[in-house]
Amino acid sequence: MAESTETKVFRAVHRYARIQPRKARLVATMVRGLPVNDAIALLQTHPRRAAHLLHKVVKSALANASNDLDVDLNALVVAEACVDGGPLLGGRARWRPRAMGRATPILKRTSHLRIGLQEAASLRKRRGRKKEQAKQEAAAQAEE
């Protein structure tokens, strides 16, 4: 049986999380690219509220990876950490009074938190290919 060149990505999603996407993205960018054990340790001790929610999603993705016997759980890296905006909670049912008699809606935002784990060795191979391609392109431009 031939080895496949595709690497497995183990994902977990928390949809409709009751936190603003802008606040959750700050924590997601800290975790992106870290080894799983470091990411879990960081999220356990970080004071932001989004850290607790992302911690649960990382643990869930790790549990999804544990079902595959071919994967070394200690070699996993957080390859994907995305926070997308979800729908407004309750629509725009409430209004806030503003200046000059105007009213603006109270926006209760939600988020979709998505984490993807991948083996570190495969990420190194990918990065190496991109660097080689960039070097070849630079050499071709220098010749011209």
Ramachandran assignment for 63, one of left (phi > 0), alpha (psi -120 to 50 degrees), beta (any other): alpha
**pTM for the model:** 0.77
| Whether 56 contacts 27, CB under 8 Å | no
Checking if the pLDDT of 48 tops 50, the result is yes
| Segments making up each domain of the chain, as ranges | 9-119
State which CATH number among 3.40.50.300, 3.90.470.10, 3.40.30.10, 1.10.3720.10 fits the domain covering 9-119: 3.90.470.10
Burial class (CB in 10 A: 0-12, 13-18, 19+), 109: middle
Report how far residue 19's alpha carbon sits from residue 113's, in angstroms, rounded to the nearest whole number: 10
Range 4-29 average pLDDT: 91
Mean pLDDT, the chain, whole residue set: 88
- Taking only the tens place, the pLDDT of each residue in 49-89 is 999 999 999 999 999 999 988 888 999 999 999 999 999 99
Residue 86 has what pLDDT? 96
Let me know: does 24 contact 83? Beta carbons within 8 Å.
Answer: yes
The C-alpha R_g of the chain, in whole angstroms, comes to 21
- Bigger pLDDT: 31 vs 3: 31
Helix axes 36-45, 21-31, angle to 10 degrees: 140
Report the chain's terminal Cα–Cα distance, integer Å. 45
State the pLDDT confidence band at 110, using cuts at 50, 70 and 90: very high
Query: In what order do the strands lie in the sheet containing 9-17?
Result: 9-17, 111-119, 76-85
